[in-house]
Homo-oligomer: A and B are copies of this chain.
Amino acid sequence: MTTLTISRRQRGTPYIPRIEELGVSAYSIVNRMILPKGFRKTVEEDYWHLREHVQLWDVSTQRQIEIRGKDAAELTQLMTPRDLRQAKVGMGFYAPLIDGNAGMINDPIIQKLAEDRFWLSIADSDVELWAKGLAQGYGLDVDIFEADVWPMAVQGPKSDDLMAEVFGDAVRDIRFFRFKVLEFHGHPLLIARSGYSKQGGFEIYLDDWELGLPLWDALWEAGQAFNVSPGCPNLIERVEGGLLSLGNEMTRENNPLECGMERYCTLDGSLDFIGKDALLAIHEAGPKQMVRGVLFGGGKCPAASQPWPVKLNGQHVGQVTTCIWSPRFEQNVSLGMIKRGYWEAGTEVTVHSQDGEIRPGKIVSLPFPE
């Protein structure tokens, strides 16, 4: 951890006054916008709280890249191997976006707002520029822009009860990865059952800056009955849940098959998308590595700012990229890429952490067991 300087370039969010009042302890930068990364509790206290109660997360950094116009469906489909041909308005799709070499560009949730209008809720890369470049080159009739939307996540097992207090029981009927438009202060808000945890919950797509504090305050006030807490994506819970992070577990060097996204890829040749030939060739040959968990000991590990080698009998068999102590396993949990031939669960390996330690561990299939 170190100090971050702030300017207009590191964009703020509508929730910042409350975030600061509640004692935000650190930020990260995602998509050139600040992301709160901790409050007064430790990451372990937050982990237990998230698994039992409910939290409000400022995830405004999940920017919405809007693609609209006559060719919006065509362009959106070109950008992903996930089949959107049967997509209906009100559905969301977790989808790898790939380049011509099948390299990962992003892994957004694509939400279909209308037949000719999509939001791509992105991880940390400029999907807007990729989409604009494609549209310009292919001569497609679309408008592409970053919409003025600042998502707030409500996460944890008590999310339904809390959300129902503010939005009514209609939220309970929203199915996983579907969304509804519900009113708040007379303003329609897109609300999806989704979020960057495995504890259940919703994401509220706030599109009116002025409503940010009223929305936070309404959820906060109703949340007092449910032991609500400010929060953020929890590193322990994310790793145990096997949720990947673009820029950490996967980069442009990785393809969606090795990222465990085969079920989101159309591999029978029936669908046209950028990178199809490359992806089909990788599928034919079989991926050379696969995302896996590694559970390892040696005491609490430091944070990983670079990949750590994973070895078997001294031979390099992979790397882990996010590592943290799990109070539930009383060992370190991690995510990374393990080479073919070595990725079977239970394989015993060593993890070479950046503090110079050699730590005994074993391969775990994802998610980590409950």
Contact assessment for A5 and B27 in the assembled complex, using a CB-CB cutoff below 8 Å? yes
- Tell me which residues across on chain B come within 8 A of A306, comparing CB atoms: 8, 12
A116 CB within 8 Å of chain B: no
Number of copies: 2
Task: Using A24-B2, A130-B129 as known contacts, say yes or no to A7 and B137 having CB atoms under 8 A apart.
Answer: no
Q: How far is the CA of A129 from the CA of B99 in the complex (A)?
A: 9
Most chain B C-beta atoms within 10 Å of own C-beta, residue among A28, A131, A139? A28
A303 interfacial by beta-carbon distance below 8 Å: yes
| Inter-chain contacts of A132 with B (CB < 8 A) | 99-100, 130, 133
Interface size band for A: 35 or more
B126 and A304 within 8 A (CB): no
Whether the Cβ atoms of A7 and B136 lie closer than 8 Å is no
Q: Are A1 and B3 in contact (CB under 8 A)?
A: yes
B137 touches A129 (CB 8 A): no
List chain B residues, Cβ under 8 A from A51.
none
Minimal beta-carbon separation of A3 from chain B (angstroms): 4
Is A215 on the interface with B (CB-CB < 8 A)? no
Residue of B nearest to A27 (CB): B2
- Complex interface bits, A125-143 against B, C-beta within 8 A gives 1, otherwise 0: 1110111111111110000
A241-280 interface (Cβ within 8 A of B): 245-248, 274
* Across-interface contacts of A5 in B (CB, < 8 A): 1, 26-28, 37-38, 303
| Separation of A245 and B5 alpha carbons in the complex (Å) | 15
> When each residue 1-16 of chain A gets 1 if its CB lies under 8 Å from chain B and 0 otherwise, what string results?
1111111111010000
Residue of B at shortest CB range from A322?
Answer: B7
Asked if B124 contacts A105 (CB within 8 A), the reply is: no
Residues of B within 8 A of A24 (CB): 2
A24 to B1, CA, bound (A): 12
Is A305 close to B, CB under 8 A? Answer: yes
Find chain B residues with CB under 8 A from A38 CB.
5
Contact A129 B124 (CB under 8 A): no
**Contact pick for A9, options B9, B129, B133, B248, CB 8 Å:** B248
Chain B CB within 8 A of A32 CB = yes
Within 8 A of B (CB), among A3-46: 3-10, 12, 24-29, 32, 37-38
Contact residues, A286-314 vs B (CB, 8 A): 303-307
Residues of A194-231 at the interface with B, using a CB-CB cut-off of 8 Å, are none
Q: Among A99, A100, A305, which residue has the most Cβ atoms of chain B within 10 A?
A: A305
Whether A76 sits at the interface, judged by CB under 8 Å, is no
**A321 on the interface (CB 8 Å rule)?**
yes
- Closest-CB distance, A107 to chain B (whole angstroms): 13
Is A8's CB under 8 angstroms from B136's CB?
no
Question: Are B138 and A6 closer than 8 Å at their CB atoms?
Answer: no
Least Cβ–Cβ distance between A6 and chain B, in angstroms:
5
Distance to closest chain B CB from A308 (angstroms):
10
- Give 4 new A-B contacts, CB below 8 A, not counting A5-B303, A8-B306, A10-B28: A1-B5, A3-B3, A133-B134, A134-B134
A-B contact pairs, 8 of them (CB 8 A): A4-B27, A5-B38, A6-B303, A7-B303, A8-B306, A8-B307, A29-B29, A133-B136
- Where the two chains meet, the residues of A that have a C-beta atom closer than 8 Å to any C-beta of B are 1-10, 12, 24-29, 32, 37-38, 99-100, 105, 124-127, 129-139, 245-248, 274, 303-307, 321-322
3 closest A-B pairs by beta carbon, nearest first, are A137-B137, A133-B133, A9-B247
